[in-house]
Amino acid sequence: MTEAETTALLPAGLRDILPPDAAFAADLVQRLRACFAGYGYDWVDPPLVEFEDTLFDGAGAAMTNETFRLMDPVSQRMMGLRTDITVQVARIATTRLANAPRPLRLAYAGDVLRVKGKQLRPERQFTQIGAELIGSESEAADVEAVTMAIDGLTRLGVAKLSVDLTVPALVPQVLAALEAPARAAAAVRAALDRKDAAGVDVAAAPLGQGATVFGLLLRAAGTAESALDKLARIPLPDAARREADRLGAVARALMAALPGTAFTIDPVESRGLEYHTGVSFTIFRAGVRGEIGLGGRYLAGRAGAARAQEPGTGFTLYLDPILRALPEPKHGERIYVPFGTPADAAAGLRENGHRTVAGLAPEANGDAPAEARRLGCTHLWHDGRIVPVAGTGP
């Protein structure tokens, strides 16, 4: 046996999920699926691997560097392993379900694989659970996406959620209105990305008087109440003003609908929102590092294709930070059924929703409780009754 076989080393960023965590994770996915179904979202299940050209189409282009590729020996074409399921669902919506009535509501869960984990989230394979609402431009659609994400998380018991709202298109629109040269625009965006207010003022200075709005936008970030107030007073070019007003309307509707959730607004945020266009959001949970999920508006479909691109919104939740935000799962109740117990006794227990663990050989020294304890069972089937096993229990 080689050393690798004995130590079972896995490639970086990949891991085995063991009991009881694996069952717990599967249960969470199931509960979210039920929650989304309750809002009228139908389940879809795209494949793990697609041809590169469909995977990187439109919104997928942002993830080319993160994709594992392999050659399809059958068609001799390059394939890519999915890095994000949203793109696949958007593809389904605009091709195979192109004739389905709009708005189209689809939900999904599955694993994705990325070439590099981040330092803070080294996982290269992780589970996404999400929903997409395609074909509606309305504010109500934006509100539905956030509401459903928060509802799903709350039902799992993830409390103290905080939602950061933004419009990734806002800054590019102001830059475009100012006709900023590429170099100057990049300097402004870099300073905005650092949240460096003084740096923004310096970088924006060469762009003239109109560029002072970048500093104002950055300083407007904060709790939703204060940010909305400030945002309303910033002089913006028309296109950007429409986006900002939209953000304001969605934020007000959400604050009214979800009083238990904290809302912040950051008009200049762009991290993690590479392909989003309109109102977008990132979900945080105080004390859990990184984000729990994100979502927002994008354009579904291929730019320049015969069929026009469709407005879509939706969100993706990540299973691993959700698990970190919840108490550790425990093994549930399990009843040890000693060797020699008639089969119909155990069957009767299972019929009533119990979990049974059958003894396959006579217990050592005839000590059934000891054997139950050794196997991690909480209860024992003894004399036709369920008896708790001392020293165990959930």
* Residue 230 contacts other proteins per CB under 8 A: no
* Residue 172 contacts other proteins per CB under 8 A: no
Site for other proteins in 236-295 (CB under 8 A): 262, 264, 266, 271-272, 282, 284-291
* Nearer Cβ to other proteins (21/53): 21
Query: At 78, which amino acid appears?
Result: M
Nearest-approach distance from CB 137 to other proteins, in angstroms: 27
Site for other proteins in 291-330 (CB under 8 A): 291, 320, 323-329
R_g over Cα of the chain: 26
Of 41-49, 219-227, 342-350, 382-390, the segment contacting other proteins by CB under 8 A is 219-227
Identify whether the C-beta of residue 93 lies closer than 8 Å to the C-beta of residue 106: yes
Distance of CA 274 to the CA centre of its chain: 15
* Nearer Cβ to other proteins (115/239): 115
Which residue stretches of the chain are H helix? 3-7, 21-38, 52-55, 85-94, 139-156, 170-177, 182-194, 197-204, 212-220, 224-233, 238-257, 319-325, 343-351, 368-374
User: Considering CB under 8 A, how many residues would be counted as binding other proteins?
Assistant: 39
Site for other proteins in 129-158 (CB under 8 A): none
Site string for other proteins, 23-62 (x = CB under 8 A): -x--------------------------------------
Of 61-69, 83-91, 117-125, 301-309, the segment contacting other proteins by CB under 8 A is 117-125
Using CB under 8 A, pick the residue from 77, 96, 116, 160 that binds other proteins: 160
Number of residues that this document lists for the chain: 394
Using CB under 8 A, pick the residue from 31, 195, 242, 355 that binds other proteins: 195
* Nearer Cβ to other proteins (148/161): 161
DSSP state of 263: E
Backbone angles phi, psi at 348, to 5 degrees: -60, -40
Distance in angstroms (rounded) separating the CA atoms of residues 112 and 109:
10
* Nearer Cβ to other proteins (268/372): 268
Identify whether the C-beta of residue 124 lies closer than 8 Å to the C-beta of residue 14: yes
Contacts of 353 (CB under 8 A, 6+ apart): none
* Nearer Cβ to other proteins (142/291): 291
Q: Encoding tokens for residue 35?
A: 């929650």
Identify whether the C-beta of residue 287 lies closer than 8 Å to the C-beta of residue 299: no
Nearest-approach distance from CB 234 to other proteins, in angstroms: 17
Distance in angstroms (rounded) separating the CA atoms of residues 352 and 365:
31
Strands laid side by side in the 69-71 sheet:
49-51, 78-81, 69-71
> Would you tell me which residues interact with other proteins (CB under 8 A)?
21, 24, 118-120, 160, 162, 164, 194-199, 221-223, 262, 264, 266, 271-272, 282, 284-291, 320, 323-329
